Structure 1
Amino acid sequence: MTALRRRTLLAVLLAGGTMTACTEQDDSATDGTGGASDGGGEAADPGAVVAESSFFLRHTEVAVRLHPIVRSGEHLVLTVDLTAEGDAAEFEDQYVVGGTLTGEATSAWSDGWGSASGGDTRDFLGVRLVDLAGDQVASTAVDAEGETVGVRADNGETADSGTQALAGTVQIAFADPGTDALAVYLPKLPLVIDVPVIEADVPAVEGAEEQLDLSAIEEAPLEPMLLMSQDLAEPLRETRELGATTVAISSDVLFDSSSADLDRKAKSALDEAAQRIESHEPGPVTVIGHTDSVDSDASNLTLSKERAAAVATALEKRLDTSDYELSTDGKGEAEPIASNDTEGGKALNRRVEIVLETPLREEEVTREMPEFEGRAGTAAEGVRFDGSEQWVLRPFDLQLGAARMLEDHLVVTLEVTPRDEDRSGVTGIGQFDDGIGMPTEPDGVSTYTLLASSGAVGVLVGSVLTYPAFHRAGGPSETTRPLTDLSLNTAADGGVPRILELVFPRDIAGVEAGAEVALQYGTTGPLAFANESTWRMTEVPIGA
């Protein structure tokens, strides 16, 4: 078990936590670890191997080889080869049976709760092309039925006993962001960067019943990254997308029930909101009131407008209105962000939003990190769970592989290793994220999505917790997904490590090469909830 763990972590560290695609066509260009090479020139051959790595299906190591991304008309095509070798009886015990290697990869690289998290069950939803410089994410293209436009084929050698060699190829269509190189997000592997995009014919997939049909594409999602953060010291949440920033304040700390008169306890939240506004360049500011569904539509609309006006009046005393011109609006109960069927959902819907469309100034972190009551450890120590915590079904270790900056984005590699000997093929490792790590969820994201991903694990700087980048993934359900593994609940064998890769939005205050930050799942303070599986990892060094 130890040897497996050491090998995987070593490969990540050798690559600085990422894999850099080599561009030599000669096989000697790769170093066998998935790390960066000294290759030069441009790979014009769609059959060339530009990056290599591996991951585990149960306790079978699967080698992964990436080819250049091929541009064909308005779309891109990614081709990935998979191979594994082992004892036939072992494969049988692990359900990794000859001829189904790509089928197992489909499960590992899709949405683990797709049937419950918005109904998006398309294959390979977790595989994405990432334009880090342009802050865009391309999800799998879909056909008229909402299924991924792609092909997969297995062509390994099957055997009843002895050594068995499995092999297969996965080919997926995406939108074209228009760049010459992209990062490739493959769940359970470090991010692969600088994969070249070439003009060439789409390579045929050996053994496929039908080849890739790009004319079947109905939609090819290409969407911007969405930033979501919350202040653990104040009841403020922030989202940022396409140049617009929204700061949301809970109405429960601003007003008494059904009132538009500001409460005395509102002062701290309003002071912080004014500081958030001043962290942006001068420009117009819109204050929008929202309510829950209690009372009539008409009275809720009136209350929301009155509350927006009250907040705007208070902000006028804290801001230079010649720099920040304030306007107000009210939406009543028309734009909920949570269900009004629960008290918690109603509380989230009662809010006042402050919308800014100007860029951030250089921001300094002034608040201290709040105290924390969950599991904690430094990056050097890791965080350990013994399996007795609520929602935690097995003991496991959580360790840092790497944290580094790529195109001003923080990219974090975590390694999770179950410490038990369970190899039943039933239990996954998603237990540290029980789906309630965020106080609110962006449109298109369900609790089930967070249950099956590490999307609720944030980077903590001072008192502000910022989550991994979210993006819309299109499809019939118009789903939104975090730029993380979406299938933590697939079976994990005891003693076998699993890589969790988290890609964060750019422009997070205090996040830069050379800085130290914390990683945290679960919250404390005004937005706290009861959850024994919360954890914090401190003293996380960020590399270049």
Structure 2
Amino acid sequence: MAARPPPEDLVVPSARRPRTSRSAPVAALVAVLALLAACTGDPSPVAGTTPAVDPGPGPEDVVATAVIPEGGVDHELRVHPLVRTGDHVVLTLDLVPLEDLEETVHVLGFGVSSFVAVGRAPVNVRLFDLAADVVHHVGADAAGDPVVAPRTWNRIATERGTRLQMPFAAPAADVAALSLLVPGAPLFAQVPIVEGELPSAAHPDDVAAAAAASASPSATPRAEEVEAPEELDLDAVVSAPTFPLESTSAELAGAVRTVESTERVEVTLGSDVLFAFDSADIAPEAAPAVVLVAQRLLEREAGRVEVVGHTDDQADDAYNRDLSRRRAQAVADALAAQVGGSGHRLAVDGRGEAEPVADNATEEGRALNRRVTVSLTSTVVTRTDVTTTGELPPFGSLVGPAGTPLRIENVARTWEVDATARRVHGHVVVDLTVHGADDERGLGWAVSFLRGFSSHRPGDTVTPHDITARGTVLQGASRLFPLDYRVGVNETWTDGEWFTASDLDAGAWIDGGQTRTYSFVYPRLDVDTVVFQAGTGVVFDDDFRLLDVPVAPEVAAG
């Protein structure tokens, strides 16, 4: 497993003069989510008249805002509705600085340090259909590069700010809204999809300034300072990829690990929990694990269930194959007693040491390789929440209750972290705020304690270099990882690169006094509070755990 970068990693800024504010200081994130929906007008209309109907937001309306830091400067992010046009929906975002600019700000946090997929900005800006568990990536051209407008969207040189316009694959016609994840802002749960003309890809102020400059070359601003209006080239889009989201949970103190997508569920049981050494008889204490696997199968339409045994490499190959098959048969027999009459068909195989998921050179790796996997490709019929039994495991680093900012001091600066949580289509979404709790500015420090590029998935997998997926949710002895999805494979990473439903770049610059929000989308879990944990509490002193994070109830759209 790859180690995360050391905490002294930093983003080196260019020299900057002390900044001069032209508005009230922004000390905390502002996240105002305007859920706009059609509704009837006067509840008691005059007889013979038709009640007025609110048409909802127009393409140029702002439906949500947040404040995010970019390049050491706080900006207001303004979100416009998604506009459906043919096979695409088009997102329009404005970034407007809340301070006087002493120099051009370059928007860096919207890209991805990818090992397999194209990571060019703004790939880190994504749409999520959390009802269907699907993520939408920005449309790309024939070279695989994002199709966006204007070309200069990532440079902010004036107080007017910048506009970013980007296309995505359109969801089904009956989908009225999608969730939006923009780096630095909390997840926008419901961004409405509307019909109408696309907004101009140029900022409205730039359009007006360009018209004024064209009419009078001596006007202010000068003509050469104004970008000509540029429209989004939808004809250049040759692909607008979507990916099925998968959820991973480790339950019963890690004895059972479940990876689930809409189409498939795979449950891995540790052989050391199920069986005694060199035995194929299921231990009595393993009964809850078998019940949990049966529960996952019964949530889905009947199909072929593959039960496959695996071992480490500590005996000869023939013996390991025989032992792994006998263990798989024991699990299949136990499952048959639980799912009999459901229509599921159980198929058994033993592959011995042939398919390791970890290094057999270590005891930890050999333990991971001793396993039985149960997999089913089938449509979800019902869903059962992740189990929440057992005791919270010990943690050897910083611990504090949510609602009171936890102070973290490292080589970079003093930070304050806090978290809230909510449900979106049943999923638990944690919004973690990170605040620079000092007055130092212009240093360009990034948040080290969220950074890393190791994957919780076994095999030859990888994640983007600065991914924030070190954040997990714990409930009892169960641990939930952020939703993720595979974007591609290559010769080095044969099991693929995995992006998470969280910020793919934790290397963003946060100055003293600034606050940045990191949203994490987790599997469905019906509880009132959760525990949020960054890291393991074993290696790094700035790993932390926030207790009793309240989970707000689902907010109905409309």
Give me the TM-score of the superposition, normalised by structure 2.
0.74
Partners of 2:318 and 2:412 in 1: CA distance: 48
Question: 3-state DSSP class of the match of 1:416?
Answer: strand
| Counterparts in 2 of 1:78 and 1:232: CA distance versus 1, 3 Å | same
- What's the offset of the Cα at 1:499? 0.7
Q: Which residue is 1:122 aligned to? A: 120
Q: Which residue is 2:109 aligned to? A: 108
Partners of 1:152 and 1:293 in 2: CA distance: 56
Verify: 1:441 aligned to 2:466, yes or no: no
Question: 3-state DSSP class of the match of 1:312?
Answer: helix
**TM-superposition CA deviations, 1:328-381 (whole Å, max 9, x none):** 134556655557787755654443212255644477643233333332111122
Question: 3-state DSSP class of the match of 2:332?
Answer: helix
**TM-superposition CA deviations, 1:379-433 (whole Å, max 9, x none):** 122433222xxxx754322112x32222222222111123355545443103244
**TM-superposition CA deviations, 1:244-281 (whole Å, max 9, x none):** 32221234555688x5x3488x5544532333423653
Letter in 2 for 1:379: A
Partners of 2:181 and 2:285 in 1: CA distance: 41
Partners of 1:505 and 1:75 in 2: CA distance: 27
Q: Which residue is 1:409 aligned to? A: 427
| Counterparts in 2 of 1:298 and 1:109: CA distance versus 1, 3 Å | farther
Letter in 2 for 1:395: T
Partners of 2:543 and 2:156 in 1: CA distance: 44
Question: 3-state DSSP class of the match of 1:542?
Answer: strand
| Counterparts in 2 of 1:298 and 1:110: CA distance versus 1, 3 Å | farther
Letter in 1 for 2:485: H
Q: Which residue is 1:465 aligned to? A: 479
Verify: 1:183 aligned to 2:192, yes or no: no
Which of 214, 239, 242 aligns to 2:259? It is 239
Contact 1:445 1:481 in 2 (8 A): no
Contact 1:183 1:193 in 2 (8 A): yes
Q: Which residue is 2:131 aligned to? A: 133
| Counterparts in 2 of 1:76 and 1:319: CA distance versus 1, 3 Å | same
| Counterparts in 2 of 1:516 and 1:384: CA distance versus 1, 3 Å | same
Which of 327, 347, 350 aligns to 2:347? It is 327
Partners of 1:129 and 1:444 in 2: CA distance: 27
- What's the offset of the Cα at 1:534? 3.5
Partners of 1:518 and 1:124 in 2: CA distance: 31
Which of 285, 288, 310 aligns to 2:308? It is 288
Which of 275, 284, 288 aligns to 1:271? It is 288
Q: Which residue is 1:150 aligned to? A: 148
Contact 1:5 1:495 in 2 (8 A): no
| Counterparts in 2 of 1:72 and 1:427: CA distance versus 1, 3 Å | same
Question: 3-state DSSP class of the match of 1:77?
Answer: strand
**TM-superposition CA deviations, 1:172-228 (whole Å, max 9, x none):** 111111222222211111222332222334344233686322233232122222111
Verify: 1:196 aligned to 2:181, yes or no: no
Q: Which residue is 2:328 aligned to? A: 308
- What's the offset of the Cα at 1:238? 1.2
Contact 2:449 2:534 in 1 (8 A): no
Contact 2:27 2:513 in 1 (8 A): no
Contact 2:27 2:514 in 1 (8 A): no
Give me the TM-score of the superposition, normalised by structure 1.
0.76
Q: Which residue is 1:33 aligned to? A: none
RMSD: 3.9
Contact 2:30 2:67 in 1 (8 A): no
Letter in 2 for 1:467: F
- What's the offset of the Cα at 1:302? 5.5
Contact 2:150 2:230 in 1 (8 A): no
Please show how residues 387-536 of structure 1 align to structure 2 within 5 Å.
387=410, 394-400=413-419, 402-420=420-438, 422-435=440-453, 440-441=456-457, 446=462, 449=464, 452-473=466-487, 479-506=497-524, 508=525, 510-511=526-527, 515-523=528-536, 530-536=539-545
Partners of 1:320 and 1:232 in 2: CA distance: 20
Question: Structure 1 vs Structure 2: percent identity of aligned residues?
Answer: 30
Partners of 1:183 and 1:196 in 2: CA distance: 9
Contact 1:221 1:474 in 2 (8 A): no
Moved more, 337-346 or 408-417: 337-346
The count of corresponding residues between Structure 1 and Structure 2 is 482
Please show how residues 40-55 of structure 1 align to structure 2 within 5 Å.
40-44=54-58, 46-55=59-68
Question: 3-state DSSP class of the match of 1:469?
Answer: strand
Contact 2:405 2:416 in 1 (8 A): yes
Which of 547, 552, 556 aligns to 1:538? It is 547
Structure 2 residue runs without a partner (length 5+): 1-18, 39-52, 203-226, 554-558
Verify: 1:169 aligned to 2:173, yes or no: no
Q: Which residue is 1:36 aligned to? A: none
- What's the offset of the Cα at 1:158? 9.1
- What's the offset of the Cα at 1:132? 2.5
Please show how residues 78-117 of structure 1 align to structure 2 within 5 Å.
78-84=91-97, 86-89=99-102, 91=103, 97=104, 101=105, 104-105=106-107, 107-111=108-112, 113-114=113-114, 117=115
Question: 3-state DSSP class of the match of 2:122?
Answer: coil
Partners of 1:5 and 1:253 in 2: CA distance: 58
Contact 2:92 2:163 in 1 (8 A): yes
| Counterparts in 2 of 1:59 and 1:308: CA distance versus 1, 3 Å | same
Higher-Rg structure is 2
Verify: 1:225 aligned to 2:245, yes or no: yes
Partners of 2:415 and 2:366 in 1: CA distance: 36
Partners of 1:247 and 1:157 in 2: CA distance: 47
Contact 1:247 1:353 in 2 (8 A): yes
Question: 3-state DSSP class of the match of 1:309?
Answer: helix
**TM-superposition CA deviations, 1:118-165 (whole Å, max 9, x none):** 353221121111222222211122223221122234599998xxxx52
- What's the offset of the Cα at 1:481? 1.1
| Counterparts in 2 of 1:521 and 1:156: CA distance versus 1, 3 Å | closer
Letter in 1 for 2:139: A
Letter in 1 for 2:165: Q
Question: 3-state DSSP class of the match of 1:537?
Answer: strand
Partners of 1:5 and 1:228 in 2: CA distance: 43
- What's the offset of the Cα at 1:537? 1.3
